[in-house]
């Protein structure tokens, strides 16, 4: 449909400078510049390095996206940007650039929520989101179960990690096993050669009195470290593939078990999984299995749309436009702890 | 021509519009913590005050610092994005040069701004238009001998009177977009090519390298 909104989305909440362009539910361009290699030797994202890289990459990435989409900036109907949550200094680069584009082009600006964007991105892959949507968001920065009756206006947190995010758990597990950063892909690869039932690692917060939808991964990390150290201290060989597989099994078991339970409890017949950890092959397989058994339809965007990207921001921006939500004001600020309950930051009536 | 100047390298969020003959409108707000919120509304206000719109701007000039990184990047990200969206050139000038130009001094002097962590960003000038040393970042004590006897301009000089003992020189304490615009207009009129808008961080990023994997138990 030609009258669907053409929206540019900018994402700079962490270490990816992402710029996406969508028309309604159609993805036209998804350009990403990543500074992940600059952080690898530190074993985590260094905020100042990320912010400097965002400034360097910002305009070139926007121009690349416009070229890829084959549209002129003046054709845009709106500019959307991640207003939070994320790294404050990193967010500020994207917010500043988005405001400048919106202002120069005379187009509305939408400061949107990073987590809601992670959910909304699936509209580009699998069409309109069912309402309500149940979403499991798992990445290096977040692990949340969210119920979204309306992705532009009503997002409710059911549960979240009380310590490490799922992606952090993978990073830390990978470090114990001597794998690189980020840890997810390395663990996934190694685990394919291991036995997931070799070691019974603990499943955090799965007791009958524990919060049903919250996650905890720090105990698991400690258990893996202890197990490996005990083998090393005894002079035994560490079966790294078995450790990786058993560790991965523990993480994905808890994630999928709680997500399926949330769907059942809330009477939602489908589950959406997004975030960088959604690229994990075992998580996908296990979710498919368990959702099928429970009669739940699973929606997982392709890996490139699960990690942080600008297309997801554009997707949510387009939805804001389509539903007539109020744009943000020119004094929009980056909010590193923007609550998930605020899908966007509407401006004051002026 | 219509030159839009902005600078966020010091606590001041400063914007000015220059038509080649003089400053048409300007705005200076001192709030070191709200650069991101204040800058675009200030641009909008300055343009409205001069009865111009964004589309009338023919070039931008932005202060490239040195300055605290987060605030500094607001001005740079805004300027390069405005330039790209409007398809007009974006120039960069050292933010300390705007304080120097605003001082109007015709003798050697020094400009110093607050670099936090008990340091100053500073540069030495032969006159208001001629920088001869810097910009650099140093502890005031370490440069006191080099700047002794020179008038000093800028909030950094106010903060550290033991290193900059002379009374504060003429001109503002913080960067001034009006001065930045006037300086850029003068240099462009003289046929100079102005530098690219690249940030002057002067310090390497703080990057904590986590100590190698630590044992959690002694097994
Ligand atoms: Zn994310």
Assess whether pLDDT exceeds 80 at residue A256.
yes
Residue from B115, B98, B72 nearest B5 by CA: B98
Between the alpha carbon of residue A160 and those of residues A36, A117, A215, A313, the distances in Å are 25, 17, 6, 22
Mean pLDDT, residues A109-130 taken together: 97
Looking at chain A, which residue has its C-alpha nearest residue B56? A104
pLDDT for the residue B55: 97
Rounded average pLDDT over B152-177: 93
Higher pLDDT, A180 or A25: A25
pLDDT greater than 70 at residue A286: yes
Q: Measure B30 CA to nearest chain A CA, in Å.
A: 16
Q: Indicate if the pLDDT at residue B216 is higher than 70.
A: no
Interface of A with B in 230-249 (CB under 8 A): 230, 232-233
Over residues A297-342, the pLDDT tens digits come to 999 999 899 999 999 999 999 999 999 999 999 999 999 999 999 9
Query: Ligand 1: distance of its center to the CA of A156 in Å?
Result: 17
A78-84: strand order across its sheet: A26-34, A16-23, A6-11, A78-84, A109-113
Residues in B closer than 8 angstroms to A104, CB to CB, are: 54-55, 81-82, 85-86
CB proximity A8 to B under 8 Å: no
Q: Find the closest chain A residue to B218 by CA distance.
A: A229
CATH class entry, domain B3-95+174-189: alpha beta
In CATH terms, are B3-95+174-189 and B105-159 the same topology?
A: yes
Confidence bin at A162 (pLDDT 50/70/90): very high
Q: Considering the domain B105-159 in this protein, what is its CATH number?
A: 3.30.420.200
pLDDT at A2: 55
ipTM of the complex: 0.94
Distance from CA of B37 to the nearest CA of A (A): 4
- pLDDT tens, position by position, A213-224: 999 999 999 999
A118 CA distance to ligand 1 middle (Å): 7
Q: Which two tokens stand for residue B37?
A: 């919120």
Q: Taking a contact as any Cβ pair under 8 Å apart, which residues of chain A between 87 and 116 contact chain B? A: 88-89, 92-101, 103-106
- pLDDT given for residue A287 in this prediction: 98
Band of pLDDT at residue B40, cut at 50, 70 and 90: very high
Asked if B37's CB is within 8 angstroms of A333's CB, the reply is yes
Closest chain A C-alpha to B108 CA, distance in angstroms: 34
pLDDT, one tens digit per residue, over B69-91 is 999 999 999 999 999 999 999 99
The mean per-residue pLDDT over the stretch A224-235 comes to 95
Residues in chain B whose Cβ is within 8 Å of chain A = 34, 36-41, 43-44, 54-55, 69-70, 73-74, 76-82, 84-86, 199, 201, 205-210, 213, 215-217, 219
Closest CA to A160 of A305, A341, A348: A341
Least Cα separation, residue A38 to chain B (angstroms): 11
Per-residue pLDDT of A27-62, as tens digits, reads 999 999 988 888 877 877 889 999 999 999 999 999
CB A19, CB A315: distance < 8 Å: no
Domain residue extents for chain B: 3-95+174-189, 105-159
């Amino acid at each position: 449909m030609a009258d669907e909104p053409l929206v540019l989305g900018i994402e700079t909440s962490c270490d990816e400078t992402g710029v996406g362009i969508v028309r309604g539910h159609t993805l036209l361009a998804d350009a990403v510049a990543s500074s992940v290699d600059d952080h690898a030797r530190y074993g985590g994202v260094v905020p100042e390095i990320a912010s400097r890289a965002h400034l360097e990459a910002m305009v070139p990435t926007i121009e690349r996206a416009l070229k890829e989409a084959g549209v002129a900036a003046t054709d845009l109907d709106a500019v959307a940007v991640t207003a939070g949550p994320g790294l404050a200094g990193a967010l500020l680069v994207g917010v500043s650039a988005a405001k400048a584009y919106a202002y120069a082009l005379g187009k509305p600006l939408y400061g949107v929520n990073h987590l809601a964007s992670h959910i909304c991105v699936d509209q580009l892959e699998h069409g309109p989101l069912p309402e309500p949507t149940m979403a499991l968001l798992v990445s290096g920065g977040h692990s949340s179960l969210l119920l979204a009756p309306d992705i532009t206006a009503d997002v409710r947190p059911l549960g979240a990690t009380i310590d490490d995010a799922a992606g952090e758990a993978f990073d830390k597990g990978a470090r114990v096993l001597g794998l690189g950063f980020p840890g997810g892909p390395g663990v996934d690869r190694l685990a394919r050669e291991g036995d997931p039932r070799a070691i019974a690692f603990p499943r955090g917060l799965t007791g009958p009195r524990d919060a049903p939808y919250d996650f905890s991964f720090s105990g698991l990390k400690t258990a893996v470290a202890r197990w490996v150290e005990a083998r090393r201290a005894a002079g035994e060989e560490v079966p790294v593939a078995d450790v990786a597989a058993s560790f991965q099994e523990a993480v994905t078991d808890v994630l999928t078990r709680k997500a399926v339970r949330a769907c059942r409890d809330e009477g939602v017949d489908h589950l959406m999984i997004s975030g960088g950890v959604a690229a994990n092959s075992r998580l996908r397989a296990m979710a498919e299995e368990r959702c099928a058994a429970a009669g739940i339809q699973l929606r997982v965007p392709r890996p490139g749309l699960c990690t942080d990207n600008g297309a997801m921001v554009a997707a949510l921006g387009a939805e804001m436009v389509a539903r007539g939500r109020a744009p943000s004001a020119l004094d929009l600020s980056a909010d590193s702890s923007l609550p998930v309950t605020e899908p966007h930051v509407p401006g004051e009536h002026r | 021509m219509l030159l839009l100047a902005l600078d966020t390298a010091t606590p001041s969020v400063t914007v000015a519009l220059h038509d080649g003959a003089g400053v048409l409108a300007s705005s200076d707000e001192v709030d070191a913590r709200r650069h991101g919120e204040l800058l675009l509304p200030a641009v909008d206000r300055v343009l409205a005050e001069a009865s111009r719109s964004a589309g009338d701007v023919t070039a931008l000039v932005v202060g490239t610092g040195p300055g605290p990184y987060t605030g500094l990047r607001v001005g740079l990200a805004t300027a390069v994005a405005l330039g790209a969206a409007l398809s007009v050139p974006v120039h960069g000038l050292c933010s300390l040069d705007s304080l120097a130009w605003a001082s109007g001094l015709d003798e050697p002097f020094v400009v110093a701004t607050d670099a936090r962590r008990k340091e100053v960003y500073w540069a030495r000038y032969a006159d208001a238009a001629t920088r001869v040393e810097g910009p650099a970042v140093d502890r005031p004590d370490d440069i006191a001998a080099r700047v002794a006897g020179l008038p000093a301009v800028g909030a950094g000089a106010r903060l550290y009177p033991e290193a900059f003992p002379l009374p504060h020189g003429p001109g503002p304490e913080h960067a001034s977009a009006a001065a930045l615009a006037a300086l850029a207009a003068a240099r462009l009129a003289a046929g100079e090519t102005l530098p690219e808008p690249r940030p002057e961080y002067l310090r390497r990023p703080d990057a904590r390298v986590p100590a190698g994997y630590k044992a959690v138990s002694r097994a």
